[in-house]
């Protein structure tokens, strides 16, 4: 237990940087202006969950210590969700319920994207249409972006995750 706490403390800068890169990629204005992701709390959650799921998928498929990094990153992401809800004024009684809802949504999307990426473009397009666009939008370009991002992450070395930057493609480069 003490070793785990020390390890988490030693990796805090790494995990904070990874989380920051996920947030930066998810907030790229092109995703909202050209890709049609709704610029709302829900749309921002969808963009964040998508980018986080891509990194977590790759880390969990990599050799140690990557899976441990994935767990630490997941913990940091959920801590930031918790903090954001508190800052929005969600009280202690509602916080647990909201966090459970967020956790279920996040896990569901991560699983859906993992299966869809393994199943091919039509499955990925359907998962994005359902989750990101709520059935109202054109997910084809986002599917191409996600496939490009997944490939770039798969081709990246563990050092790229440890030292940065994470090789997300620029959304504006995908047509």
Q: Residue 154: its pLDDT value, please?
A: 97
Of 128, 72, 121, 78, the closest CA to residue 100 belongs to: 78
* d(C-alpha 149, C-alpha 142), whole Å: 10
What pLDDT does 10 receive? 53
Taking only the tens of pLDDT, the chain with its 175 residues reads 434 544 555 588 999 999 999 999 999 999 999 999 999 999 999 999 999 999 999 999 999 999 999 999 999 999 999 988 888 888 777 788 989 999 999 999 999 999 999 999 999 999 999 999 998 888 999 999 999 999 999 999 999 999 999 999 999 999 8
Q: Of 148, 167, 160, give the one whose Cα is nearest residue 62.
A: 160
pTM, two decimals, is 0.91
Q: Give the Cα-Cα-Cα angle 55, 34, 136 (nearest 5 degrees).
A: 85
Q: What pLDDT is recorded for position 1?
A: 42
The pLDDT assigned to 3 comes to 43
CB atoms within 10 A of CB 10: 9
9: nearest Cα among 87, 85, 83, 75 = 75
Give the residue extent of every domain in the chain. 2-166
């Amino acid at each position: 237990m003490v070793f785990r706490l020390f390890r988490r403390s030693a990796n805090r800068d790494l995990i904070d940087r990874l989380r920051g890169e996920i947030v930066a990629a998810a907030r790229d204005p092109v995703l909202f202006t050209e890709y049609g992701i709704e610029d709302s709390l829900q749309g921002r959650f969808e963009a964040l969950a998508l980018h986080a799921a891509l990194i977590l998928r790759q880390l969990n498929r990599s050799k140690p210590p990557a899976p441990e990094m994935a767990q630490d990153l997941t913990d940091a992401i959920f801590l930031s969700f918790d903090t954001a809800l508190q800052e929005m004024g969600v009280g202690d009684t509602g916080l647990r319920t909201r966090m459970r809802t967020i956790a279920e949504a996040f896990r569901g999307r991560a699983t859906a994207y993992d299966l869809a990426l393994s199943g091919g473009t039509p499955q990925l397009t359907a998962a994005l249409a359902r989750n990101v666009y709520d059935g109202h939008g054109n997910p084809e370009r986002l599917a191409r972006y996600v496939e490009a991002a997944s490939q770039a992450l798969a081709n990246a070395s563990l050092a790229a995750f440890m030292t940065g930057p994470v090789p997300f493609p620029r959304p504006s480069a995908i047509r």
